[in-house]
Amino acid sequence: MGLRTWSAVCAVATMVVLAPGYCGPASADDREQCKTEKGDAAIAACTRAIESKKFKRKKFKRTLSLLYSNRGVEYELKKEYDKAIADHNEAIKIDPKNHAAYNNRGNAYVAKGSFDLAIADYDQAIKLDPKYADAYFNRAIAKRNKGDFSGADADIVQAKALNPAIGN
């Protein structure tokens, strides 16, 4: 499996994937579909949920952040990296403590070949959640792409210590 493919797999593994739908008014199921569907159906459901304004209140900031990040993961899988990064940016703006959004944006940066930006995002994800095995593993991929093999190996060791099944 190539590194770009693996980064997409990691992105999906990191966030719950999106949901089906059509472009119409938001329904009660859009939030759930955003988490469970894939591809265009998920993007449509996430978009409806975001645009519904149901999650604009402060108490729903985490939910709104996750909706943007879930949609960003789907855009990344479609190789629409700029849209993915824009959605992760919005997720982070809404909830700067959303460690998964940093990890997922890092995955989009890896896919674009922007390894320094990816590493910075993985660093932030790890800072927010030091037990976040996916961020260590993904940072290892970015480091390996930059030629930092010892740094990558150290991150793999840490990721495996946190989650022995990671990367299998």
Q: What is the pLDDT of residues 24-75, one digit of tens each?
A: 444 558 888 898 899 999 999 999 999 988 887 788 888 999 999 999 999 9
Q: What is the pLDDT of residues 69-118, one digit of tens each?
A: 999 999 999 999 999 999 999 999 999 999 999 999 999 999 999 999 99
Tell me the C-alpha distance between 10 and 105, whole Å.
12
| pTM for the whole structure | 0.81
Taken in order of first residue, the domains within the chain and their CATH numbers are 3-15+54-162 (1.25.40.10)
Say which residues have a Cβ less than 8 Å from residue 24's Cβ, sequence separation at least 6: 48
Tell me the C-alpha distance between 30 and 66, whole Å.
13
Instruction: Tell me the C-alpha to C-alpha distance, in Å, between residue 33 and each of 22, 45, 89, 115, 159.
Output: 11, 6, 22, 32, 30
